[in-house]
């Protein structure tokens, strides 16, 4: 089902480069959150979406299921649906079924995880009138690839669901939306999912569940470095930490060193020194106010096509139309 796959050697080189750059940063070591999603990480994240503490995915799905027809009515006839970071594609089914009721369409899930793409293909390939063509690339290069081969005048619908935009710092999120807009024609649409502000303990529990699945998901990044870069991380000497940053209105995930230690990473050409309590910052998950989402869209060159909010777990789906 995949149109193209980045070379394995290039992926390995990029991982080693990012590990070197991130773990030599001072005072805060960091690694890009995209590296959490290898085959094991993607599988663990699917489990996370079913945990009682993590209401985000269920809210996302409720909104899309209840409003897919309305969303498609507001976009006009769509023949091309693109999803940035599809995951398994489970919640996208309702959008594609609503689209296919009017005309055949092509769905392009863009994912860096080959495992997630394969699962997405299995999940959605049975929808009559929908052709699934997966692209194993990062978001913007994948979107650029699709727009370069785009034909016809019907509007394109881009999906960016699950509040993945929350994984960007605010200036980066604004820049990203602007970059997406530059690849869209006037009249194209972006459906943007955003998790909204809620009580701090609710947020922390969602990223530090009682079963420890999120901890395993986070610590799997050390396992990946051990496997792919011949690193020497001893998992017993590290622990998962989720904390709320009120200034950024964001949950941060960290991997904390329990002790003073030195870890060799031959594949990245470095040795990393940790003091007890030092952390690797692996993910940010920013929480929004609903009006802020509309303001970000306007600044990026979109007009509002509608906004739907889940009240059980405050979450917004915002339809942004390219002006």
pLDDT digits (tens, 9 = 90+) for 269-294: 999 999 999 999 999 999 999 999 99
Asked whether the predicted pLDDT for residue 203 surpasses 60, the reply is yes
The single residue listed with the structure tokens 């000497």 is 237
Q: What does the pLDDT look like over 121-161, one tens digit per residue?
A: 888 989 999 999 999 999 999 999 999 998 888 899 999 99
Q: Is residue 180 very low, low, confident or very high in pLDDT (cuts 50, 70, 90)? A: very high
**Angle 315-319-320 from CA coordinates, rounded to 5°:** 125
Give me the pLDDT at residue 5, please: 40
Q: Which residue has the higher pLDDT, 319 or 7?
A: 319
Average pLDDT of every residue of the chain: 94
Q: Is residue 119 very low, low, confident or very high in pLDDT (cuts 50, 70, 90)? A: confident
Task: Quote the number of domains for the chain.
Answer: 1
Give me the pLDDT at residue 280, please: 98
Asked whether the predicted pLDDT for residue 7 surpasses 70, the reply is no
Query: In terms of DSSP bridges, do strands 2-5 and 134-136 run parallel, antiparallel, or are they unpaired?
Result: parallel
Parent domain of 154: 1-323
Give me the pLDDT at residue 10, please: 80
CATH code where residue 262 lies? 3.40.50.150
Q: What does the pLDDT look like over 32-74, one tens digit per residue?
A: 999 999 989 989 998 999 999 999 999 999 999 999 999 999 9
Give me the pLDDT at residue 113, please: 80
pTM value is: 0.90
Q: Is residue 90 very low, low, confident or very high in pLDDT (cuts 50, 70, 90)? A: confident
Percent of all residues in the chain with a pLDDT value above 90, rounded to a whole number: 84
What is d(CA 317, CA 5) in angstroms, rounded to the nearest whole number? 30
Percent of all residues in the chain with a pLDDT value above 70, rounded to a whole number: 98
């Amino acid at each position: 089902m995949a149109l193209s796959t980045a070379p394995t050697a290039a992926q390995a080189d990029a991982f080693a480069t990012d590990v070197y750059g991130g773990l030599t940063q001072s005072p805060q070591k960091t690694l890009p959150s995209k590296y959490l999603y290898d085959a094991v990480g993607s599988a663990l994240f699917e489990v996370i979406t079913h945990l009682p503490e993590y209401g985000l995915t269920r809210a996302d799905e409720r909104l899309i299921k209840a409003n897919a027809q309305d969303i498609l009515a507001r976009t006009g006839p769509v023949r091309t649906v693109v999803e940035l970071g599809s995951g398994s594609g489970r919640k996208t089914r309702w959008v594609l079924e609503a689209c296919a009721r009017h005309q055949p369409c092509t769905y392009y899930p863009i994912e860096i995880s080959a495992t997630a793409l394969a699962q997405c293909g299995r999940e959605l390939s049975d929808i009559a009138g929908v052709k699934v063509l997966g692209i194993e690339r990062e978001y913007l290069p994948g979107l650029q690839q699709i727009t370069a081969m785009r034909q016809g005048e019907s509007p394109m619908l881009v999906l960016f669901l699950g509040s993945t935009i929350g994984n960007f710092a605010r200036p980066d999120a604004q820049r990203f939306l602007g970059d997406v807009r530059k690849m869209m024609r006037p009249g194209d649409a972006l459906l943007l999912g955003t998790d909204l502000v809620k009580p701090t303990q609710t947020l922390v529990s969602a990223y530090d569940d009682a079963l420890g699945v999120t901890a395993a998901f986070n610590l799997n990044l050390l396992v990946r470095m051990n496997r792919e870069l011949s690193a020497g991380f001893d998992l017993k000497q590290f622990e998962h930490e989720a904390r709320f940053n009120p200034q950024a209105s964001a949950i941060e995930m960290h991997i904390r060193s329990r002790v003073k230690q030195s870890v060799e990473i031959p594949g990245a050409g470095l040795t990393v020194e940790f003091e007890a309590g030092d952390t690797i910052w692996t993910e940010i998950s920013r929480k929004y106010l609903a009006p802020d989402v509309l303001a970000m869209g306007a600044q990026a060159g979109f007009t509002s096509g509608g906004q739907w909010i889940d009240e059980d777990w405050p979450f917004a789906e915002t339809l942004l139309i390219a002006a």
